[in-house]
Amino acid sequence: MQSFPIRQARIARALGADALIVAGLIGLDVGARLLPRAPDFTPVAATALFAASTLRIRAFAVLGPIAGMMLGDLWLGGYDIRIMIVVYAAIALPACAGALSPTLRRPLFIPAVLASSSLIFFLVTNFAVWAFSPLYPANAAGLVKCYIATLPFLRNMIAGDLAWGFVLFGGCWLLQGARAANAGAAALHAQS
């Protein structure tokens, strides 16, 4: 009978820890979008994959980037709802990929997942801009013009996702290493 309350306490701790991480990642996403920076140099894809890699409740991984985008859009102003839906779906992609595949959360694959997420986001969202806005002619030449005009944003997005991924994952691994070293030192100290 004691195992049920213990299990509930563990679930509550996991929920609380995950909620704090998600809140921090949402704050990072919103802050990075609102502060001066290079266009599209944001941590959103990196925070999505990081959340999928670290949270015990994987469903929260999708919540973070979407909430961060929504809060940023509330401040910055919205745009065509059809484009917003495509943007939010593309933003959630790294979280979904990381949550569904443990392989994609391995350190070796993280840069590839982030770079491919940036590329997919670029292709899908700019297609939506071309399809749903009057900015470009509704023909193949207009689509090509849309992609060419936004190439500088792709470079910044890939650089931002990789840099923020390095900061988030690298910081987490350093913290885990420091904790392991402290635990080892404490164990040695207790033995002496």
Q: Inform me whether the pLDDT recorded for 192 exceeds 70.
A: no
| pLDDT tens, position by position, 7-35 | 777 777 777 888 999 999 999 999 998 98
What was the pLDDT predicted at 57? 83
Range of the domain at 145: 3-191
pLDDT of residue 4 exceeding 80, the answer is no
Angle at 96 between CA 92 and CA 97, to 5 degrees: 120
What's the pLDDT score for residue 85? 94
189: Cβ–Cβ under 8 A, 6 or more apart, which residues? none
pLDDT for 169? 93
**Which of 186, 173, 185, 189 is CA-nearest to residue 53?**
173
pLDDT per residue as tens digits for the range 79-100: 899 999 999 999 999 888 888 8
Tokens of 145: 């013009």
Indicate the number of domains in the chain: 1
Q: What string of H, E and C letters represents the secondary structure of the chain?
A: CCHHHHHHHHHHHHHHHHHHHHHHHHHHHHHHHHCCCCCCCCCHHHHHHHHHHHCCCCCHHHHHHHHHHHHHHHHHCCCCHHHHHHHHHHHHHHHHHHHHCHHHHCCCCHHHHHHHHHHHHHHHHHHHHHHHCCCCCCCHHHHHHHHHHCHHHHHHHHHHHHHHHHHHHHHHHHHHHHHHHHHHHHHHHHHC
pLDDT of residue 2: 54
Residues 113-117 have a mean pLDDT of: 93
What does the pLDDT read at residue 106? 81
Does residue 44 surpass a pLDDT of 70? yes
* Arithmetic mean of pLDDT, 111-131: 95
Q: What is the pLDDT of residues 155-167, one digit of tens each?
A: 999 999 999 999 9
pLDDT at 78: 79
Mean per-residue pLDDT over the chain, rounded: 88
pLDDT at 108 over 90: no
**What is the per-residue pLDDT for 47?**
92
Q: How many CB atoms lie within 10 A of CB 146?
A: 19
